[in-house]
Amino acid sequence: MIKKEFHRLARAVIRKGDSILLAKAEGWHNSFLPGGHVEIGEGAETALLRELQEELGVKGKISSFLGDFEHSWQHEDTVHFELTHVFEVVIEKEQIESQEPHLQFFWATVEEFEELDLQPYPLIGVLRASLLPASVWRSTLETN
């Protein structure tokens, strides 16, 4: 029997020159932006700043909202559905060290995103755009 799970996430676009900070979880092939789950009763911005403190030990400042991304994937007997809120974030710390043993963080250029399997996939096109729109909505659930 296939189970279904829903995730509400807040993620950060953190830039350093031409690179953006990405994360990879131990045992998974895809990469993703730093951040994580929004807890029930918690705002997306608060959750994102909390996750950055927990994962990287850094304080961040949200500079803008980039958009929402709807995505799904299947892992074993569960279909996962996520809604990801993406914000541009500035951090003061140059040196990044993972505070979570199962997460690895690294800098990558937009040219490397496909090879690194950045998810959700629509992020690749949005982050490649030379001028980011004020905000976007993208979905891997819509067929049109």
Across the chain, the runs of DSSP E, i.e. the strands, are 3-13, 15-16, 19-25, 31-32, 35-37, 60-75, 78-91, 103-109, 136-139
What is the number of structural domains in the chain?
Answer: 1
Q: What is the domain range of residue 10?
A: 3-139
CATH number for 104: 3.90.79.10
Residue 38 lies in a domain: yes
What is the Cα–Cα distance from 77 to 89, expressed in whole angstroms? 35
Given a contact cutoff of 8 angstroms between Cβ atoms, the answer to whether 107 and 14 are in contact is no
pTM attached to this predicted model: 0.88
Residue 120 lies in a domain: yes
Residue 33 lies in a domain: yes
Residue 47 lies in a domain: yes
Sign of CA dihedral 103, 95, 9, 38: positive
Q: What is the pLDDT of residues 31-64, one digit of tens each?
A: 999 999 999 999 999 999 999 999 999 999 999 9
CB-side exposure of 87: number of CA atoms within 13 Å? 23
Q: What is the pLDDT of residues 9-39, one digit of tens each?
A: 999 999 999 999 999 999 989 999 999 999 9
